Amino acid sequence: MSIFINYSINVVNNDEYHYKNLHLNTCYKLFAETYYCYKKHININNGFNTVLTGYSKLDDYKKDIKNCVIPKKIDNGKKIVIYAPHWSIRVDNNLATFHLYHKYFFNLLKENPNINFVFKPHPDLRHRMIESKIMDIEYYENYIKEWDNSDNGIYIYDGEYIDLFRKSCCLITDSGSFIAEYLPSENPCIYLINPEKENLIENTFNDFAKPIVNSYYLCYNEEDINKYFNEVIINENDYMKDKRINLIKDSFINIGSAGKTITEYLRNIFLNK
- Cβ 32 vs Cβ 53: under 8 Å: yes
Residue 169 has pLDDT above 70, yes or no: yes
The SS3 assignment for 191 reads strand
Give the pLDDT confidence score for residue 60 in this predicted structure.
96
Average pLDDT score over residue span 4-16: 91
* Phi, psi for 24 (deg, rounded to 5): -65, -35
Give the pLDDT confidence score for residue 271 in this predicted structure.
84
Residue 168 has pLDDT above 90, yes or no: yes
pLDDT tens across 149-166, in order?
999 999 999 888 999 999
CATH 3.40.50.2000 region(s) of the chain? 65-250
Cβ-based neighbours of 224, under 8 Å, separated by 6 or more: 218
Residue 45 — pLDDT band, cuts 50, 70, 90? Answer: confident
Residue 266 has pLDDT above 90, yes or no: yes
Average pLDDT score over residue span 245-249: 93
Give the pLDDT confidence score for residue 25 in this predicted structure.
84
Average pLDDT score over residue span 50-79: 96
Of the candidates 129, 118, 53, which has an alpha carbon nearest to the alpha carbon of residue 84?
118
Give the pLDDT confidence score for residue 269 in this predicted structure.
86
Average pLDDT score over residue span 16-23: 86
Residue 47 has pLDDT above 60, yes or no: yes
Please state the separation of Cα 192 from the chain's center in Å: 13
Give the pLDDT confidence score for residue 273 in this predicted structure.
57
**CATH topology (fold) of 65-250:** Rossmann fold (3.40.50)
Tell me the percentage of the chain whose pLDDT exceeds 90.
Answer: 79
Average pLDDT score over residue span 4-23: 90
Please count the other Cβ atoms lying within 10 Å of the Cβ belonging to residue 46: 10
Give the pLDDT confidence score for residue 37 in this predicted structure.
95
Helix, strand, coil % in the chain, rounded to nearest 5:
45, 15, 40
Residue 272 has pLDDT above 80, yes or no: no
Mean pLDDT of the chain: 94
Tell me the percentage of the chain whose pLDDT exceeds 70.
Answer: 100
Residue type, 75: D
Half-sphere exposure of 79 (CA within 13 A, CB side): 17
Residue 268 burial (C-beta neighbours within 10 Å; 0-12, 13-18, 19+): exposed
- Cβ 117 vs Cβ 170: under 8 Å: no
The SS3 assignment for 79 reads strand
Alpha helices in the chain (DSSP H): 15-18, 22-26, 35-45, 98-111, 125-131, 137-149, 162-167, 178-182, 200-204, 209-213, 222-228, 241-251, 258-271
pTM of the predicted model as reported, rounded to 2 decimal places: 0.94
Give the pLDDT confidence score for residue 129 in this predicted structure.
87
Residue type, 130: I
Cβ-based neighbours of 238, under 8 Å, separated by 6 or more: 187, 188, 232
- Cβ 141 vs Cβ 58: under 8 Å: no
Please state the separation of Cα 225 from the chain's center in Å: 18
pLDDT tens across 180-207, in order?
999 999 999 999 999 988 899 999 999 9
Residue 128 — pLDDT band, cuts 50, 70, 90? Answer: confident
Residue 257 burial (C-beta neighbours within 10 Å; 0-12, 13-18, 19+): middle
Please count the other Cβ atoms lying within 10 Å of the Cβ belonging to residue 225: 20
Average pLDDT score over residue span 93-98: 88
Residue 88 — pLDDT band, cuts 50, 70, 90? Answer: confident
Average pLDDT score over residue span 104-121: 98
**Cα distance between residue 27 and residue 272, in whole Å:** 20
